[in-house]
Structure 1
């Protein structure tokens, strides 16, 4: 789309390309993550813009920031203590305070209890 083709950044403040037209060395955070990298403190080098086709956002202009893969750094490896803390936090979100069991799914925050312990009226309010 011509409206989003602005490699100089004169119109959009950052060099901008339409979906799929950015230079190969510029990647989104998600693309960097898939390669085991992170931006590493660098400022965005550009952006990709497109019009959304999803019903909830139809017609909206969406954007993704781009980072230079040549300046990216390796992702940090979490320590054993960090992994343990994360596991405890995730387990706490699955633990029902009423029946005191790990339900195997994250409890709805609106209810604060598992689906088996929730009042039928509360369940109906969720839908």
Structure 2
């Protein structure tokens, strides 16, 4: 199987030596997406729901570029700075996965790049 690097200007560019996503066969694997507005380059802080929405919008843009969508996500990993924000994150997260919910891991971490409050990565099927 060949692999292809995925890139879109509708999501923040990589801040290190990695790709926004990699497509292998019928799957796409995204890198973790911080809540960075791709138009302004600004990190969303202070509102975990707005931050979660931006991270998921970034994931969605990458999936679109890869030829798939949030409907085809099979696994997510959510990294959060404060587990006390879990229910607020879930309120936003649930809006992106209405039907078949993907498998998910959610972990509290000591620190994320740019001191972000949330980072989300996914694995999706390309149909």
Normalised by the length of structure 2, the TM-score is 0.24
Structure with larger RCO (C-alpha < 8 A, sep 6+): 2
